[in-house]
Amino acid sequence: MRNKLIHIVISAILVVSSSLVHANPQPTAAAPETPVPAAPTAATMPIPKAPSSGAKSFIIMDFDSGRVIAEENTDQSYDPASITKLMTAYVIFNELESGNISLSDMVTISEKAWRTPGSRMFVEVGKLVSVEDLLQGMIVQSGNDATVALAEYVAGSEETFAALMNRHAEDLGLTGSHFLNSTGLPETGHQMTAHDIAILAASVIRRFPDYYKWYSQKEFTFNSITQHNRNKLLWRDDSVDGIKTGFTDSAGYCLVTSAKKEGMRLITVVLGNASANARVDASQALLNYGFRFYETHKLYDAGTALASSRIWKGSTENVSLGLSKPLFVTIPRGRYEALQASMKVDNRIMAPVDQGAALGSVQVKLDDEVVAELPLVSLEPVAEGSFLHRMTDSALLYFE
């Protein structure tokens, strides 16, 4: 019996040693062994400052990694004007996805919707209009009448719909935003931040790709009236496929834009520009800057085993560890070979373990900067082992 116990202990030590090797993998790209040259290379030269936007607030954010490349006053809340309709669309897309409404539903246009001032789809009071047409009227034409009609159809009143908007904003972590109406018409206390807008835009693109296509639509005709999308970048830059303009006297000219080049998607927001042309020029300059000086890489897929660790008192001796979502990094161009990846695994993992339980972390560094970090999670559930197995592991743990 004593020899058998010693054999078990030795086996356990080998398993623990193996798990430690897996917990500290070789970096994704090893650092060069030769000394750093005295003169800077193109890859190591400092990146210039982002171009001036002329806006009260701006942001450049990578869609996949969430990294903010450049920003100014991004946590300051401002009047968002019609960019508000991004949240209106998010709520309605969610209702469609949940099956609470459908695109073919017919909506009766109320007098309030018909009388709403500002940009219009030109719906008529008392007429029936489909949800699909109203969505295109809101997204492409920025129709306030269509927007109010949709809000009333979903929630009964615009005030109740605004409460829904705030609930979704809280779920998305939009801490600098508060909604009082569905259109973005000026109202004291109705506000958003550039950072919140970028997060919201990314959520619309990620969650609702089938509906996002409308944001690249250049025109829409309703009631024999054709109106063009106000996002002029759709004509200027083929990589741009959305997303929304806004303007009021109090907000100035605003634009949230998304563009994709060679697998990299950027989102920019400018708030409070002086003119329609200024917001377009600023957005184009920010996109050009982001694509020119930065690149995004996917390092690990979700659900792929990256490590294996000893699990005590479980139905199996090892648990596979990986990520619950892909890990992306956005870095200065030419620095991919300098990335260093490391993994940390919790000591003494005990069964039972649920699938998705955080049991460590993956960290990626560029020089001394942490550019990405995600939890390392269990890829499968592990139940408690038999009574004999638990007792054996208890004995082994005694010698740890």
Active site residue 18: no
Give the up-direction half-sphere exposure of residue 352: CA atoms within 13 A in the CB hemisphere: 6
Paired residues of 363 in beta bridges: 342, 373
> Is the CB of residue 212 less than 8 Å from the CB of residue 204?
yes
CB contact set of 170 (below 8 Å; sequence gap of 6+)? none
> Is the CB of residue 57 less than 8 Å from the CB of residue 72?
yes
Q: Which of 365, 347, 308, 380 is nearest to 21 (CA)?
A: 308
Q: Which of 116, 86, 91 is nearest to 196 (CA)?
A: 86
- Among 142, 309, 320, 378, the active-site one is 142
- Among 57, 82, 203, 258, the active-site one is 82
Token digits for 46? 């400092």
- Among 85, 232, 244, 313, the active-site one is 85
Q: What is the identity of the amino acid at 377?
A: V
Q: What is the largest CA-CA distance in the chain?
A: 91
CB contact set of 57 (below 8 Å; sequence gap of 6+)? 72, 73, 74, 76, 78, 193, 194, 269, 270, 271, 272
Active site residue 309: no
Long-range contacts of the stretch 155-161 (C-beta < 8 A, 24+):
158/112, 158/182, 161/88, 161/91
Active site residue 77: no
Distance of CA 282 to the CA centre of its chain: 22
Q: State how far the Cα of 4 lies from the Cα of 393, in Å rounded to an integer.
A: 14
| DSSP structural state of residue 111 | H
Give the up-direction half-sphere exposure of residue 68: CA atoms within 13 A in the CB hemisphere: 15
What positions carry a catalytic annotation? 82, 85, 142
